[in-house]
Amino acid sequence: MVESFTKVKLNDQQLSLLTASAFGADSAVVGSKELTGGFFNTGYDLELSDGRSVILKVAPGPETAVLSYEKDIMRAEVEALRLVRAAGGIPVPEVYSYDESLQLIPCPYFFMEKVAGEPYSDVKESLSAEQRASIEYELGRYQRLINEIKGSAFGLFSGGAASAGASWRETFRTMMGNVLQDARRLNAVLPVSEAEIEQALERYLPALDEVTQPRLVHWDLWNGNIFVQDGVIVSIIDWERALWGDVLQEYYFRHFENSEAFFEGYGTALNSPNEVLRKRLYDLYLDLIMVIECYSRQYKDENHVNWTRDNLAETWKLFSAAE
């Protein structure tokens, strides 16, 4: 497990206090286990005295240094989960309660339904090619349903990316600028200077003008956030990075994946010349974040840190060489 500086640890007394506030004084915690997945929030699997099992997610405290886009992302996750659940047709956990008052603990937190199954990332290698294709086809269908939800303005759910009415080009430029500002603040080592990155960006940004309708983007829909059981997807979790943007930002369009079954389920691979440019731009955005967050979260796993640097270096080579 990659340990993160941002994770908050709660003791048994605090867990009992939050549970009683959410579910009533008669709901006691009879079993608890900290979840090891995820690199930002802390998760707890709680067994209650009434027989229910629930998940508690705890965000870093307000004083914790986080990346610009990570501010208020727990509120973003709760809003996205409620929106998607209300839309129907997409399996997501129910939110039971959300508290950002900081009165009981100095951090926002929420309780949600415990979902069945296991992360696809944990079981993928044990499945047959046919089973993986079936799951990824289903994922493509769900991804399409998510992206068909329309918004009124571009930007992060957590706010602050751009003003209402801004174009996607303006919004994304602001998002990328915030990431580079984070790198500067944290003294992050990047493969090239900020000026070189910004100069290369100018060749790509006009491609964003093709995106005129804000669409719901999960953005973090990698295999660890897909729960499967008996060969089918039973839940899609971790919506904290949701935004209104370009569907090509989704993880299965990144260079880490190339699933024909996903594209078939989605209905298209989206590979026009303009779309290829946008994919490269979003590859760079994600890979920059993965390097910079190593500094803000103070990861101790040197293998992971070195991998993020090597990955960004390869992405930059492709990005800067493209015409």
> What CATH number corresponds to the domain at position 184?
3.90.1200.10
In a domain, residue 7? The reply is no
Give pLDDT, residue 2.
47
Residues 255 and 282 in one domain: yes
Q: Which domain holds residue 163?
A: 118-321
pLDDT value at 1 more than 50: no
pLDDT value at 49 more than 80: yes
Q: Which of 55, 90, 113 is the last residue of a domain?
A: 113
Residues 32 and 127 in one domain: no
Residue range 144-154, pLDDT digits in tens:
999 999 999 99
In the structure, what pLDDT confidence band is assigned to residue 53 with cuts at 50, 70 and 90?
A: very high
In a domain, residue 4? The reply is no
Give pLDDT, residue 89.
97
Residues 246 and 129 in one domain: yes
Give pLDDT, residue 300.
85
- Return mean pLDDT, the chain: 92
pLDDT value at 205 more than 80: yes
In degrees rounded to 5, what are phi and psi of residue 322?
-70, 145
In the structure, what pLDDT confidence band is assigned to residue 270 with cuts at 50, 70 and 90?
A: very high
In a domain, residue 5? The reply is no
Q: Which of 73, 88, 113 is the last residue of a domain?
A: 113
Residues 32 and 69 in one domain: yes
Residues 185 and 47 in one domain: no
Residues 136 and 160 in one domain: yes
More confident residue, 145 or 61: 145
Residues 160 and 189 in one domain: yes
In 3D, which of 115, 288, 264 has the Cα closest to residue 190?
288
Q: Which of 58, 82, 113 is the last residue of a domain?
A: 113
Give pLDDT, residue 321.
85
Angle among Cα 39, 42, 46 to the nearest 5 degrees reads 135
314 exposed, middle or buried (CB, 10 Å; 0-12, 13-18, 19+)? Answer: middle
In a domain, residue 1? The reply is no
Residues 287 and 255 in one domain: yes
Give pLDDT, residue 8.
79
Q: What is the mean pLDDT of residues 3-15?
A: 77
Give pLDDT, residue 160.
53
In a domain, residue 6? The reply is no
Q: What is the mean pLDDT of residues 103-129?
A: 96
Number of domain units in the chain:
2
Model confidence, pTM: 0.93
CA dist 249 and 258 (Å) reads 14
In the structure, what pLDDT confidence band is assigned to residue 276 with cuts at 50, 70 and 90?
A: very high
pLDDT value at 275 more than 90: yes
